[in-house]
Amino acid sequence: MKGTLLITGVGQRIGWHLAGHLQAQGYQIIGTYRTRRDSLKRLEDQGVILIRCDFNQAEQVDALIADVQQRAPMLRGIIHNASDWLPDGSADQAVSRLHAMMQVHVAVPYQLNLAFEEQLLASDTTADIIHITDYVAEKGSRKHIAYAASKAALANMTLSFAQRLAPRVKVNSIAPALILFNDQDTEEYKVKARAKSLMNKEAGVAEMLQSVEYILNSGYITGRTLAVDGGRHLV
Ligand SMILES: NC(=O)C1=CN([C@@H]2O[C@H](COP(=O)(O)OP(=O)(O)OC[C@H]3O[C@@H](n4cnc5c(N)ncnc54)[C@H](OP(=O)(O)O)[C@@H]3O)[C@@H](O)[C@H]2O)C=CC1
Ligand SMILES: Nc1nc2c(c(=O)[nH]1)N=C([C@H](O)[C@@H](O)CO)CN2
């Protein structure tokens, strides 16, 4: 076995594919989810350990930490994937919206990294923390200001934790753009979204799977961001 990886937000989409793929690669995955879905049974059948946790509920985060510390004296890594892509609301929603974005994208990743520092350092091979950020962390976003700001904070934590945990733990970000559309996305939206990058396409989940594996298999890369964005910065 290649060691135990904690992945947050495995209930659907990229996190769900990451959990199944890395479990099949020989890691023992511990995955967090918030909403129970039939699709989770396929992960359970593969041997993925699932722990329900809503990051807005402090007692559930504390219970998650205690559970993982008991299950995994050593951690090969943590992949912070859980995320809420909320648009900005009205001014009277501003503070609660920013708090919600900071909670899921910054506060809980910060808490989990500190809570599992000992387990990561105890790994018998170099361990990894991977923060899944977003291209907009460097560019900003007109309609997702709070979301982008929180992803920028997550990206900054990559720099800090990389310095704190080297050389036994590597810490990197993956900054995607347009990996996977959402079911509600209209064709008009899809045309506009694809056109925002040079590659003019929806990347697909495989781009994220291979990006995570690239970082996990590196013995040297740390404190960096892997941009998986189709050349958006050049359009
Ligand atoms: N999809 C894309 O094109 C892009 C994705 N990204 C980033 O990649 C990562 C994966 O993206 P994607 O698969 O689309 O993500 P999703 O929007 O599908 O969210 C992933 C999971 O996060 C969980 N989550 C959200 N809020 C909370 C919370 N408060 N507590 C616990 N869990 C929570 C959800 O849990 P549940 O469903 O169980 O409620 C959800 O399944 C994210 O970090 C995203 O920001 C960045 C750029 C582009
Ligand atoms: N948590 C999520 N974050 C993001 C999503 C998503 O579905 N969930 N989607 C995007 C978009 O793909 C955007 O990059 C282009 O429309 C960004 N972040």
The whole-number pLDDT of residue 46 equals 98
Domain locations along the chain: 4-234
Ligand nearest to the CA of 82: 1
Average pLDDT for 196-201 = 98
9 Cα to the center of ligand 1, angstroms: 6
4-234 has which CATH code? 3.40.50.720
Amino acid at 203: A
175 beta partners: 227
* pLDDT at 235 exceeding the cut of 90: yes
Ligand 1 atom nearest 203 alpha carbon: 3
ipTM over 0.85: yes
Expressed in angstroms, the distance from the first to the final Cα of the chain is 43
CA separation for the pair 107, 77 (Å, rounded): 18
For tokens 């890369």, what's the residue?
221
CA separation for the pair 85, 68 (Å, rounded): 26
The whole-number pLDDT of residue 161 equals 99
The protein residue with its alpha carbon nearest to ligand 2, atom 15, reads 178
- Dump pLDDT digits (tens) for 58-78: 999 999 999 999 999 999 999
Using most ligand atoms within 8 A of CB, pick from 83, 108, 154 the residue to mutate for ligand 1. Answer: 83
CA separation for the pair 13, 20 (Å, rounded): 11
- Dump pLDDT digits (tens) for 124-145: 999 999 999 999 999 999 999 9
Please enumerate in sequence order all residues whose Cβ is within 8 A of that of 77, keeping only pairs 6 or more positions apart, or say none.
Answer: 3, 5, 6, 120, 123, 127, 128, 129, 130, 216
* pLDDT at 32 exceeding the cut of 90: yes
CA separation for the pair 53, 57 (Å, rounded): 8
Average pLDDT for 191-197 = 98
The whole-number pLDDT of residue 13 equals 98
* pLDDT at 213 exceeding the cut of 90: yes
Please spell the DSSP secondary structure of 67-93, one letter per residue.
Answer: HHHHH-SS-SEEEE-----PPP--GGG
10 Cα to the center of ligand 1, angstroms: 8
- Dump pLDDT digits (tens) for 146-167: 999 999 999 999 999 999 999 9
Residue 189 falls in the annotated catalytic set: no
Q: Ligand 2 in contact with 177 (CB < 6 A)?
A: yes
pLDDT-based confidence at residue 1 (cuts at 50, 70, 90): confident
Average pLDDT for 94-123 = 98
Mean residue pLDDT across the chain = 98
Q: What percent of the chain has pLDDT over 90?
A: 100
Q: Ligand 2 in contact with 229 (CB < 6 A)?
A: no
Q: How far is CA 227 from CA 53, 81, 154, 224, in A?
A: 29, 15, 14, 10
